[in-house]
Chains A and B, each alone.
Chain A
Amino acid sequence: MKALELKALSKNFGGLRAIRDISLEIEEGERRAIIGPNGAGKTTLFHLISGFLFPSSGRLSLFGGEMTHLQAHQRAALGMARTFQVTNLFQKLTLFENILLGVQAIKGTRFCFYRRVTSFRDVVYETERLLKEWNLWGKKDALLKNLSYGEQRQIEVIMALATKPRLLLLDEPTAGLSPAETILVTSIIKGLPHEITTLLIEHDMDVAFNIAERITVLHFGSILAEGSPEQIKGNAKVTEIYLG
C-alpha cells in the first residue's frame, strides 16, 4: 500500500508558485528524503503534507484515504507525526510532561477533566518507558528549556514517536547540530523500526544519503530528479544545481 500519495499538488502564495504540480508516491515502509537548495519549497511541501497549509490545487491521500481537506490534528489521528525544523517543544514544562503530552495525544482519555493525569497508569508507564529507552529518565524533572539544544532535537523525534505513528515526517532533524550530535541523531533515525514510513527533509546531503533509500530532489517547487542515492549522486542536473 502507498503510505502517502500526492497528486498534481500546487501551492501559490499570491504570485509566487512555491509548489508546482508535484506528484509523489511513497510506499509503506519506505525511507525517503527530499533534498534541494534553499527556497526549493521543501518546508512548504512539508506543511502541505502535515496539514499546516492547504494546497491551491491537487490532492493528497494517506494510507489510501483521502486527506486533502483534513486538518493537521485529524491527519495526526490517522497515524501521521511530524517534527519541526525550529525546535517546537513545551519549553516551560518538564521533560516528563513534554513526553506525557505526546503519549496522551492518541488516548481517548485526553479529554478527561476530573481525574488526575497521573492516575492514568498506561500513559505514565508509556512515558516512563520511552524516557528510559532513550536514556533521559534522569532528566525527567528538568524544565525543557534547561536541556541542551542537542537533547531538544532528540526529544523532537521522541515526541513524534510517542504517538506511535505509521508515517513520520522529519523536518531537518539535524539542523544546527554539531558533527557528533548529527551522527547520534542520524543513528537514532536509522535505528527506527522499518514499519514506520519515514519522510525527511534534509539540507545536509550526507545525512540524506545515509538515511534514505530513495531520494527526491526538489528545485523551484518542482521535482528535478528521483532515484536511489547512487542515481542521484551521478545525476548531472543535481550536481549542477548544488554546485552551481
Chain B
Amino acid sequence: MKVEEILKRSFLLPFLFAVLIVFFPFIFSNYYVGLVIQIFIMAIFAMSLDILVGHTGLPSMGHAAYYGVAGYAAGFLFLAGVKNFWLAIVLGMGLGGLAAAFFGLLALRARGPYFMLITLALSQVLWGIAFKWRSLTRGDDGLPGIGRPEIGLGMNLKPDLYFYYFTFALFLIAFAALFILLNSPFGYTLRGIRESESRMEALGYPVWLYKYTGFIFAGIFAGISGVLWVYYSGFVNPSYFGIDLSVKALLMLILGGSGSLFGPFIGAGIVVLLENLVSGLTERWSLVLGIVYVTVIMLFSEGIFSVFKRGRN
C-alpha cells in the first residue's frame, strides 16, 4: 500500500507537469508562453551554476561569462548566414566550456570571498570587451536582427509555439544530463569536496582536478542557455555578460534552494514571473521584488524547494 502510494505520487507529479506544459499554449496567451520559455532557459542557466554553488561549494559571481560567450557565438554565426541550430549549440557549449577552462585556471587559485571577486572580475573583462570593441560587437547597441534557427529536415523555429516546445525539450535533455552527472561517482565526489576538501585530499582524490572539471561542465551547460536566449530575444548585447545576470542566477538558487535540480528550476520560475508580472503592475516593481526576496529568504533559509523535501521525509 505504502509503496504503491509512493510510486503513484512520484509518477503523477511529473506526468501532470508534462501535460500542463504541453497544453499550456492552448490555454494561455502568447505573452505567458514567452514567460515559460524564459523560465526554461533561465532554469538551465541556474542549474548549470548550481554545479558549482550547490554541489561543489564554489560561489561563482561571474557565471554570465559563459552565457555571454555562447550568446555572442550564436549571434555572430547567425549574422554570418549560418542558421543551423545544432552548429550554434555545439559552438556555444564548446566556447562556454573553453572560457570556463581558461577562467578556472585563474579563479580556482582563490577561495571563498576571493573566488567570488575573481570570478566577478573575469566576467567583467568580457563585458568590457563586448562594450568597447565596437567594430566587432557594435558595443552597447549590440547585434540586432538575429532570427530563429533551423533544426534540420527543413524545419525552423520561427513560430513561437515551435520554439516553446523545442526549448522545453532542450530543458528536459539538460535536466536529464545534469541528473546523470550529479548522481555519478563524479557528482558524489563534488559533494564530498563541498563538505570537506581536506578529507577528500586525504582520501586520495585530486581535489583541484575535480573542481576544474566541474567548472568546465558548468560553463558548457551555461552555454546552452546563452544560445537559446539569443534566438528567443533576437539580439545580443553586453548585458549578456552583466553582473546583474550572474547575481540573478545566484538569487534563483537562494530562493529555490541549491544542491538539487528542482530548486534552481523553482527559483528561475519565481524570479522570471515576479520580474515580469510585478513590473506590469507598478513602477516601483524592484521595491516589491526586494521585499518578496527578503521575506522568502527569512522564511525558507534553505530555499523554497526545501519545504517539499521536508514534507517527503
Contact = CB atoms under 8 A, between A and B. Distances in A.
Given A50-B202, A101-B200, A117-B184, A93 B192 contact: yes
Interface string A13-53: 00000000000000000000000000000000000001010
Interface residues of B, number: 24
A189 interface: no
Contact of A113 (B187, B201, B204, B206): B187
B291 interface: no
Interface string B171-186: 0000000001101111
A58 interface: no
Contacts of B187: 113, 117
Interface in B184-213: 184-189, 191-192, 195-196, 198-207
A123 B204 CA distance: 16
A101 B197 CA distance: 12
A117 B204 contact: no
Contacts of B203: 73, 76, 81, 101-102, 105, 159, 163
A101 B188 contact: yes
A115 B220 CA distance: 19
A104 B201 contact: no
A72 B201 contact: yes
A110 B205 contact: yes
Given A88-B196, A90-B195, A91-B195, A117 B188 contact: yes
Contacts of A134: none
A109 B186 CA distance: 9
Contacts of A238: none
Secondary structure type dominating chain B contacts: helix
A92 B184 CA distance: 18
Interface residues of A, number: 37
A120 B185 contact: yes
Interface string A156-172: 00010001000000000
Nearest to B259: A92
B135 to A, nearest CB: 41
B178 to A, nearest CB: 11
Contact of A90 (B180, B185, B186, B199): B199
A163 B204 CA distance: 9
A242 interface: no
A97 interface: yes
A101 B205 CA distance: 10
Interface string B122-147: 00000000000000000000000000
Given A90-B191, A101-B189, A115 B202 contact: no
A88 B186 contact: no
B189 A110 contact: yes
Contacts of B217: 113
Contacts of B180: 113-116
A104 B193 CA distance: 14
Contacts of B201: 52, 71-73, 76
Contact of B181 (A106, A109, A113): A113
B199 A111 contact: no
B192 A112 contact: no
Contacts of A105: 200, 203-205
B202 A111 contact: no
B186 A84 contact: no
B195 A113 contact: no
B186 A73 contact: no
Contacts of A93: 191-192, 195
A104 B188 CA distance: 10
Contacts of B189: 101, 104, 110
Contacts of A117: 183-185, 187-188
Given A84-B199, A105-B203, 4 more contacts: A104-B188, A114-B181, A116-B183, A163-B204
Interface of B: 180-181, 183-189, 191-192, 195-196, 198-207, 217
3 closest Cβ contacts across the A-B interface? A76-B204, A90-B195, A113-B186
24 contacts: A50-B202, A52-B202, A72-B201, A73-B202, A73-B204, A76-B204, A82-B202, A88-B196, A90-B195, A93-B192, A93-B195, A97-B188, A101-B189, A104-B185, A105-B204, A105-B205, A109-B185, A112-B186, A113-B187, A115-B184, A116-B183, A116-B184, A117-B187, A123-B185
